[in-house]
């Protein structure tokens, strides 16, 4: 584990959201998001702290995000001066504040399901993995095992090989940067095949092949095809990485059966094929990823599928 000494913020900036946004909703979501292992997310009202390796340099950084009035947050970046601007950009993406959400409110005018979801989760935008690299590692770790167990393994890897950033007198553990992951001993609960796949993911991230901006500069089809070339990454995992790692706002997850089940329930279309569900999602453009998140959140609220059963992650 790499310890980073406490330092004063290298950068303090205000980020204005374009369109609906509520930091409190992001914090509540993160607390219940098993892969993040952030039961401490609501420790202080209106404040979110995070630590992560910064894409590109892979130097560790910390950030404190505070709500500042309507649709605005203040971000303190704790990092070296060289990487602080890039860390700020990453925080903006993690909270989906890099997307103009001005048109999101208008989706509900024609779709009562979306209108109900937006009312139930006001200002909720996707809260991402810290990077496509971390999302890809989660996909490998979680393949064919229960989510709760996968979250424990991911957290243990962070504790063994990640960085520790001290922010506001709190020690935050960051998932290991690619080189640190490659250098650590394999986790005892991971099969050799998964260890080899994680190493391939780390190498791809180190070499820039998982860069978020690169993935979002491609068409969805190009990005998904590129991701599926990585060992252990199938259609489901590729969509996860693009949507929840790179933060693409407009992807319909064709390989996410729990979302499809919730759509059939919400839209009262029992037995609808995936192609029919995708046609419904056309009305969500250009925020298909965002609406999908609201549907999945509502399914968990309604039946506690993951919380109760520790459901297994869908194969990659």
Q: Say what the pLDDT of residue 9 is.
A: 83
Residue 127 forms part of a structural domain? no
Total number of domains constituting the chain? 1
Q: Say what the pLDDT of residue 166 is.
A: 87
Of 222, 199, 190, which Cα lies nearest the Cα of 133? Answer: 199
Residue 260 forms part of a structural domain? no
Could you tell me the CATH number of the domain that includes residue 40?
3.30.310.20
Q: Say what the pLDDT of residue 282 is.
A: 97
Q: Say what the pLDDT of residue 169 is.
A: 81
Residue 126 forms part of a structural domain? no
Place of tokens 């969500």: 284
Q: Say what the pLDDT of residue 251 is.
A: 98
Q: Say what the pLDDT of residue 250 is.
A: 98
Q: Say what the pLDDT of residue 2 is.
A: 47
What CA–CA distances, in Å, run from 117 to 33, 100, 291, 298? 18, 19, 8, 8
Residue 98 forms part of a structural domain? yes
User: Residue 45: how many CB atoms within 10 A of its CB?
Assistant: 9
| Residue 64 structural domain | 2-120
Q: What are the pLDDT tens digits along the chain (316 aa)? A: 445 545 678 899 999 999 999 999 999 998 877 776 666 656 778 899 999 999 999 999 999 999 987 789 999 999 999 999 999 999 999 999 999 999 998 988 889 999 999 999 999 999 999 999 999 999 999 998 888 899 999 999 999 999 999 888 888 999 999 999 999 999 999 999 999 999 999 999 999 999 999 999 999 999 999 999 999 999 999 999 999 999 999 999 999 999 999 999 999 999 999 999 999 999 999 999 999 999 999 998 888 766 654 554 445 5
Residue 53 forms part of a structural domain? yes
Residue 28 forms part of a structural domain? yes
Q: Say what the pLDDT of residue 71 is.
A: 87
Residue 177 forms part of a structural domain? no
Q: Say what the pLDDT of residue 164 is.
A: 93
> Following DSSP, what letter does each residue of 128-180 receive, concatenated?
PPSSHHHHHHHHHHHBTSBHHHHHHHHHHHHHHHSEEEEETTEEEEEPPPHHH
Q: Say what the pLDDT of residue 305 is.
A: 66
What lies within 8 Å, CB to CB, of 91 at 6+ separation is 15, 50, 63, 65, 75, 77
Residues 100-124: tens digit of each pLDDT: 999 998 988 889 999 999 999 999 9
Residue 60 forms part of a structural domain? yes
pTM assigned to the model: 0.92
User: Is 44:77 a contact under the CB 8 Å cutoff?
Assistant: no
């Amino acid at each position: 584990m790499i310890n980073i000494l406490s330092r004063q913020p290298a950068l303090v900036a205000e980020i204005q959201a374009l369109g609906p946004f509520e930091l409190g909703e992001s914090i509540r979501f993160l607390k219940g998001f098993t892969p993040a292992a952030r039961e401490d997310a609501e420790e202080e009202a209106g404040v979110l702290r995070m630590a992560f390796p910064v894409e590109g340099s892979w130097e560790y950084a910390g950030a404190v995000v505070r709500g500042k009035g309507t649709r605005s947050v203040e971000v303190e970046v704790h990092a070296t001066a060289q990487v602080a601007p890039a860390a700020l950009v990453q925080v903006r993406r993690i909270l989906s504040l890099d997307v103009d959400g001005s048109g999101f409110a208008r989706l509900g005018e024609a779709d009562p399901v979306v209108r109900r979801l937006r009312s139930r989760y006001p200002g909720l935008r996707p809260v991402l993995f810290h990077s496509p690299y971390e999302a890809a590692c989660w996909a490998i770790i979680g393949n064919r095992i229960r989510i709760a167990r996968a979250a424990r393994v991911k957290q243990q890897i962070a504790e063994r090989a990640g960085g520790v950033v001290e922010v506001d007198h709190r020690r935050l553990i960051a998932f290991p940067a690619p080189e640190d992951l490659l250098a650590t001993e394999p986790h005892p609960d991971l099969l050799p095949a998964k260890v080899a796949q994680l190493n391939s993911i780390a190498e791809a991230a180190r070499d820039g092949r998982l860069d978020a901006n690169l993935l979002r500069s491609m068409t969805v089809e190009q990005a998904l095809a590129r991701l599926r070339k990585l060992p252990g990454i199938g259609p489901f995992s590729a969509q996860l990485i693009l949507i929840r790692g790179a933060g693409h706002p407009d992807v319909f997850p064709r390989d996410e059966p729990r979302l499809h089940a919730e759509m059939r329930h919400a839209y009262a279309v029992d037995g609808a094929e995936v192609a029919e569900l995708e046609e419904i999602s056309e009305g969500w453009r250009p925020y298909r990823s965002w609406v999908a998140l609201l549907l999945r959140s509502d399914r968990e609220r309604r039946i506690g599928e993951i919380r109760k059963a520790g459901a297994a992650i869908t194969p990659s």
